[in-house]
A and B are shown apart, each in its own frame.
Chain A
Amino acid sequence: MNRIIDHPVLGKLDDRKKIPFTFEGKEYEALENETIAAALLANDVRTLRVHEESGTPRGFYCNIGHCMECRVNVNGQANVRACLTVVKENMVVEKGKQHPNIVKRMVENR
C-alpha cells in the first residue's frame, strides 16, 4: 500500500529516516518510529502470522494492542504485538508459525 503523503487537514508527511529490517528473511524499509504492522502494510504485506493450529493467515485487527491478532517473532522473541512495536534498525521479524499438532495429525492419519 502507499503512504498517505499529502493530507488536506493533517498536512504533508514529514521526511523521516528510513530504517531497514527483515520480515521472513526479506529486506524491507520502515520509516523512523513506525510500527511493524504499519511498515509491513506500507510494503503491501498483510499477513503477519498463520494460525497456530489451522495454518490460516492472520493480519492486524485492532491496531492498538487489544486483540493479539498481530503477534510476530521479533529478534527471536515470540508473541510480540506488531501494532505496538516500533521497527528498529536491522530488526529480524518473522511470522507467527503453525504448530505441529501431533495428536490431531495422528487422528487424521488413522
Chain B
Amino acid sequence: MIDVIVIGAGPAGLAGAISCAENGLKVTVIDEFVRPGGRLLGQLHQEPSGEWWNGIKESEHLHNEAQKQSIDIRCGVSVYNLEKDEDAWNVHTNIGTLTAPYVLVATGAAEFPIPVPGWTLPGVMSVGAAQVMTNVHRVEVGKKGIIIGANILAFAILNELQLAGINVERIVLPEKSPLSKNAGEPEVVMKSLLNAAHLAPSPILRFGSSFMKNEGFRKLGMKFFPKSGVKVNGTPLQLRKAALEILGKDQVEGVLTADIDVNGNVIKGTEKVYEADFVCIAGGLYPLAELTAVAGCPFKYVPELGGHVPHHSEKMETPLEGLFVAGNITGIESGKIAMAQGTTAGISIAKHAGKGSTDINEKLEQAMKNVHTVRQNAAIQFNPEVANGRRKIYELWDVFYGKEQDTLQEIG
C-alpha cells in the first residue's frame, strides 16, 4: 500500500516526499525525466553571498535524503491522467496505474513558446533547453547563438552559457505580433526589466547597471536606448532590435532582424542578417497544471503567479479531497521556495492522514512561515509582485472554502 503518490521529483516534490516520509507515510515519487531534481538540475547562479547555487548538488542532496527515508523514486515514468475513485486517487502512467489516498502534484513550470517564423528549424530551442543541455547533459548547443526574448530567465541562462564557454552574440526581442504580445514591445520589456532588475541572481546580470543607475536615462526611457544595446555581462541586449525570421535550410544559419521603434514597430530598410548556429527562444514560464485540471480542480488566472493556477490554500490543499499541490504549479518562483512549499505540503498531508506527532500543527505553521522567509530572501525572483499574487489566491481560498476548512479543522 502506498499512502502518497508524488508527481514530479523536482525540489517541491522531493521536499514534499521527504516530509511525508518523516511523518510516517509511505511515499512513491514519479517523474518522467531521466533523473530526480526537476528543473533544479540545470540551475547555476551566484547568491548575493558569493556562494554558488549548484542545482546538481542540491538535487543530489535531496535525492540522498529521500533515499534515507526509503522513498520509492521512479524516473522515466509519465503520468497522463489522474482521477478519483470513492476513496483513492488513481494515477495513470505509461507503466500502469498506481493508487493512493493522497496525491501531491508538483509538476513545476513550462516555457511559453514564441513562434518566430523559422522556429521549427533544428538548432532553435527554448532557453531552458539550452540550460539543460549545457549544465545537465554537458553538451554544447552550438558555437554562436542569439537569444530572442529578454527576461530574468534569459539573463540567468545567458550567464550559464557564458560560464560553459558558449558564445551568445546578442539578445534581441521577438517581432511584435499577437503571439509575442508584450515581449515584442521595447517600452514594456524595459519597464518589466527595470522593475525586476534587483531580482536578477547576480550583480553582473542586473540589467544595464550603469545605464539604469542614471536617473536621466531612465526618464528618457527607450527613445535613447543605444542601438548597439547595453551590455549584460558582456553580451549586448538590443531592445530596439527584433527577430523577424530564423533562417536556414536544414538547420539554423542565421537570424533576420530589423530595428524597431519604442512600440515595437519595424523600421523599414534596417533589416540585417546575423549568422548563428543556434537560437534560444525565451518566452517566460507558466505553471504546468494540466494534471490538476484533468483531476477536476478549479482554476484562477493570476498574472503575478505566471498564469492559471489551481485553487489552493497556503497549506497546499486543493478543493479536491486528498489532492495537494506544491512548487511552480502554484506560481512561478525559484527552487528554494518550491522546496519550502513542498515541505509545507508534506506536513499538511501528514496532518490530514492523522499522522505525525502532537506538534504537527506547530510544524505546519512553522513551515508556512518559512515559505515567506525564503521568499523574502530569494536571490532570484520572476515577478516582483509575486507576494501579491500569493495573497490573492489565499484570499480566494478563504472566500470559497474557508468555512469548510475551519470546520474540518475543528473535527480533525
By a beta-carbon cutoff of 8 Å, the part of chain A in contact with chain B is 1-5, 7-10, 13, 33-35, 38, 41-42, 46-48, 51, 56-67, 69, 83-86
Contact = CB atoms under 8 A, between A and B. Distances in A.
Interface residues of B, number: 40
B251 A1 contact: no
Interface of A is mostly: loop
A5 to B, nearest CB: 8
Given A84-B33, A84-B34, A84-B76, A4 B121 contact: no
Contacts of B336: none
Contacts of B123: 46, 59
A62 to B, nearest CB: 5
B138 A13 contact: yes
B351 interface: no
Given A4-B164, A9-B52, A56-B120, A42 B139 contact: yes
Interface in B67-90: 76, 78
Contact of B132 (A1, A9, A63): A63
A47 B111 CA distance: 22
A61 B129 contact: yes
Given A64-B128, A64-B129, A58 B140 contact: no
A68 B139 CA distance: 20
Contacts of A10: 44, 54, 56, 135, 138
B137 A38 contact: yes
Contacts of B124: 59, 61
Most chain B Cβ neighbours within 10 Å, of A34, A41, A51, A64: A64
B163 interface: yes
B165 A4 contact: yes
